[in-house]
A and B are shown apart, each in its own frame.
Chain A
Amino acid sequence: MILRSLVDGNRLDTLVDNVNFDLTCDLLCVGAGCSGVYLSDSAKRLGADVILIENEKTVGGMHTVGGVRGYYYGYENGAFMEDDQFVSENSQLAVDSANQWLKQVAMIKRLESAGVKTLFEHSPTGVWLEDDRIVGLQVFDGNKLINVRAKITVDATSDGHIIIMAGAKTRMGRPADNKTVPFSVISNYLWNDIRCGVNQDAGEVNQYDVKDFSKKLLLAHKDTKDTFKKGDFLYLATITGVREGVSFEGEHTMKYTDLLVGNTPENVLFWAYSDLDRHGNDRAIDDELFQNWWVISNLATVAMSIPVPIKSLIPKGLKGLVSAGRCLSCDSYLQSAVRMIRDMFRMGECLGIACALAINQGVDIDKIDYEKYLSLVKDTGAFGGENKDFAFNSPSKKVPYVPIDLNPRNNLHLLDTTTPGACIWTCFLNKEDKVLVEILADKMNATKSLLEKYNCAIALGIMEQKIALPVLREIVNNRDCFYFTDCRRSNQFRSAVAICLLGRLGEIQDATLLESIVFNDTEFEREMYHTLENNYLYYKLPDRNFVYFDVFTHALAGLVKLYKKLNLNLSELNEKIKKVIKDGKVVDRIAYIKEPHQPTFVEITDFLTLMLKQTEE
């Protein structure tokens, strides 16, 4: 057998002749967090012999000791509802929603009643392989190293620690710059007898680099000082809220592009439900399709059902190992969506059933009798997928549920409103429809409503129609100060949207226009950069000039695109960007706090560095 570990950054394979396994089981689950607990429980109840190991002292991961008590999306069905019921029945014991400990008790009782052997403060240190199959783990139990043998090993660590150790091919971050979304530190305070939480975006971190992780953790904990002013400070969550870790090359890789156009894969394990909850604000360097969704169509808070196939949980070429939780084989944009607490509970429950079936049938998990699986899982309610609409929806139900009609002709009236997003998006989905283009062009030219005229131009722009250019230029020249209002947060600034489109469709004169925004110091003197209030409808970060950030970044990213498309002199642009970086004025204007780890400071400086790099190619 081979013991595979990661030592000093290198993969180390050690051949061992006679391995003494201290423990043996059918299913070894690493991580007693949101998915691990319910996975272990459901597998055990279906007859699998389960060992659950956990690094921390207790259960629940981000949902308990991680401080994420509230639910954000996710389907409301599955075994976890019983534990929520337990918490609710005991609510008289706790102040307001300060009931994290009750949930821990519920989860502990669940594992005990199922008979899951749970080992706390156990840390995996290596993976055992036999003929390319993972057959167990080496684990540190606090005193010594022990070996645990298993038919199936589940990585429910949420950060793919076992998957990385096992040697799967991994990637991290979005395509443009490999950056992940910011991590958070969660603190709780008491205000007027109400438990309140602060979820503070603390910048980017590489949690696999122990020095970076440790340094950023200290900085993030120190920066919670402002919470003290809000009320009686209670605690900092003991686990850091890292939202995005590695993804791996799986037997199937989920793509957000498939999701947005409605492609459903085979053999779905379960359906998640969420919006594309992407933190961070530098949308100007996102993928074009994502920009179409989030920026140009302003659909940040539209929720959707997301099919998660079994094969996206299996690292390619590695048998005996499965992932549970938010570490999937998918792109960075889907990682923003398939991570909601309720969905993690349900994924665990469904995967536990699939694992038990695999063990029972003596096959790998991707070879299980899928119809049998469906019959087992549908009884639990955890499978999901009952609602396939894309819809404006709110986890708190305070905002009306509004499904999107996918026929653009039924949405045309929205163009004369402040909420044209559904129309713009459905026009994009039908961009080859020449009749639709004509209808929009006629509307744009004939309408007396400026709102409608400008929104028509955006719709034509997303359909790549140059006929929109004169009106898009007008929006930008006028520095139109309109914000869309489709969403309950993250609404987009129409000037920035138009700038983004000019970057794609524009001509030489548009390069000149964008240069005047980026390189002309008088641009910043415009009133709009100094009067719009920081507002949750647009942005949450009070430490930046968000209008200028938005306009500037879209303008510069657009300029780089135009230069490349029109074969203009890239090295000239490169020199101009160097000057902007050197004189520091743009960073000064945008980032109110210029400490090296502050999210805004990092976002704008990294953006400028990326633009410089893109003009060196």
Chain B
Amino acid sequence: MKVYDTLLIGCSYASVGYALNSKNTLIVEQTQSADTRFYLPLRSYNLDAYTPTTEYGKSLLDTFNSFKLIDGEKINANALESAFCDFLCRSDLEITFKSRVIDVAQENDLYIAKIITNGGIITVKTKKIIDTTVSAPLSTTLTVMVKGELTKDEEIKITNAFGGATIQNTFYKDVYAVFLQNPNCLDYNAMLNDFYNKWKTVGAKVKTLYVAPTFSKIAKKEKGFPKDEYFGNPIEAFEEGYYYAQKGEN
């Protein structure tokens, strides 16, 4: 049975950054996407300013630029998955998708993790396990892309119907992202149903283009592993993970 130094639960920019600065890591991702924190929930089209300081970070930025994802302070969140996968294909990391850690036992200094995958349960031994996911967010946000002429009146109608909603320009002309905040909700289907019920009453002229298949999580920055949710720039999240590996913390 292979013994890893670190098992990272959740593929994220930070977990990939960590893995690239470590040896012998395994990343276990539940979904079939590599970027589940910025791309999958379409978290934001605004990009916090950040300049990478590592070679890997610069390479990731180059990859984003080769996909034409960044324009000043704007990022094309829709295209992040393709770009991130392009970067990962050159990175020779061990990542398993559609996989979940279902049980962890301890044997002396090692952890024995059971992981359910498409091919059944696999057992791995590891010295360290890092959970990079956010299990108890402060709130969640569902992103809906809409298209059309968004007048001020339309904006008001939408934000009134969905208390706390914010609207952002995206990379595309006349396409906007509507962010719907849900204080206590971790049920995606309930959010979707609620969105339908309210959207129907809004009578907006803009039309939906795409509803993100998962919600993003708002999390309070805590000590420990730097989760993607803490950052407004995926490259910053990546390098925080990279430097975290250097610190050697558990």
B32 touches A211 (CB 8 A): no
Nearest neighbor of A101 in chain B, beta-carbon distance: B211
- In Å, the complex CA distance between A120 and B147 comes to 30
- In Å, the complex CA distance between A100 and B196 comes to 12
- A374 CB-CB contact with B under 8 Å: no
Point out the residues of chain A lying under 8 angstroms from B88, CB to CB. 218, 222
A193 in complex: contacting residue of B31, B34, B147, CB < 8 Å: B147
Contact with A along B95-113 (1 / 0, CB 8 A): 1111110110000000000
- In Å, the complex CA distance between A92 and B147 comes to 12
- In Å, the complex CA distance between A572 and B138 comes to 72
B102 touches A95 (CB 8 A): no
Q: Count residues of chain A with CB under 8 A from any CB of chain B.
A: 61
B102 touches A145 (CB 8 A): yes
Known: A217-B97, A235-B78. A93 touches B199 (CB 8 A): yes
B213 touches A238 (CB 8 A): yes
B172 touches A105 (CB 8 A): no
The secondary-structure label for the interface of chain B is: mixed
- B121 CB-CB contact with A under 8 Å: yes
Point out the residues of chain A lying under 8 angstroms from B34, CB to CB. 218, 221
Known: A95-B209, A101-B208. A5 touches B120 (CB 8 A): yes
A205-244 residues with Cβ-Cβ distance < 8 A to B are 207-211, 213-214, 217-219, 221-222, 224-225, 228, 232-236, 238-240
B97 touches A214 (CB 8 A): yes
B118 in complex: contacting residue of A108, A207, A221, CB < 8 Å: A207
A123 in complex: contacting residue of B79, B100, B175, CB < 8 Å: B100
- B22 CB-CB contact with A under 8 Å: no
Point out the residues of chain B lying under 8 angstroms from A211, CB to CB. 96
Binds B, one of A57-65, A349-357, A364-372, A501-509: A57-65
Point out the residues of chain B lying under 8 angstroms from A93, CB to CB. 199-200, 207-208
Point out the residues of chain A lying under 8 angstroms from B211, CB to CB. 100-101
Contact with B along A1-43 (1 / 0, CB 8 A): 0000111110000000000000000000000000000000000
Contact with A along B157-190 (1 / 0, CB 8 A): 0000000000000011001000000000000110
B102 touches A239 (CB 8 A): no
B145 in complex: contacting residue of A7, A159, A221, A234, CB < 8 Å: A234
B123 in complex: contacting residue of A7, A140, A208, CB < 8 Å: A7
- In Å, the complex CA distance between A161 and B98 comes to 13
- B5 CB-CB contact with A under 8 Å: no
Nearest neighbor of B77 in chain A, beta-carbon distance: A235
CB distance from A231 to the nearest CB of B (A): 9
B178-223 residues with Cβ-Cβ distance < 8 A to A are 188-189, 192-193, 195-196, 199-200, 207-211, 213-214
Known: A109-B193, A209-B119. A123 touches B102 (CB 8 A): yes
B209 touches A234 (CB 8 A): yes
**Complex A-B: 13 CB contacts under 8 Å:** A57-B188, A57-B213, A101-B208, A165-B120, A190-B172, A190-B175, A190-B209, A213-B118, A214-B96, A221-B82, A234-B78, A235-B78, A236-B82
Residues of A within 8 A of B (CB): 5-9, 55, 57-59, 65, 90, 92-95, 98-102, 104-105, 108-109, 120-121, 123, 125, 140, 145, 159, 161, 164-165, 188, 190, 193, 195, 207-211, 213-214, 217-219, 221-222, 224-225, 228, 232-236, 238-240
Given contacts A58-B189, A123-B116, 17 further A-B contacts (CB under 8 A): A55-B98, A57-B188, A58-B192, A58-B213, A95-B209, A102-B196, A123-B100, A125-B116, A140-B102, A145-B103, A164-B120, A208-B119, A210-B118, A218-B34, A221-B34, A233-B79, A235-B210
Residues of B within 8 A of A (CB): 1, 30-34, 40, 67-68, 76, 78-79, 81-82, 85-86, 88-89, 95-100, 102-103, 114, 116-123, 145, 147, 171-172, 175, 188-189, 192-193, 195-196, 199-200, 207-211, 213-214
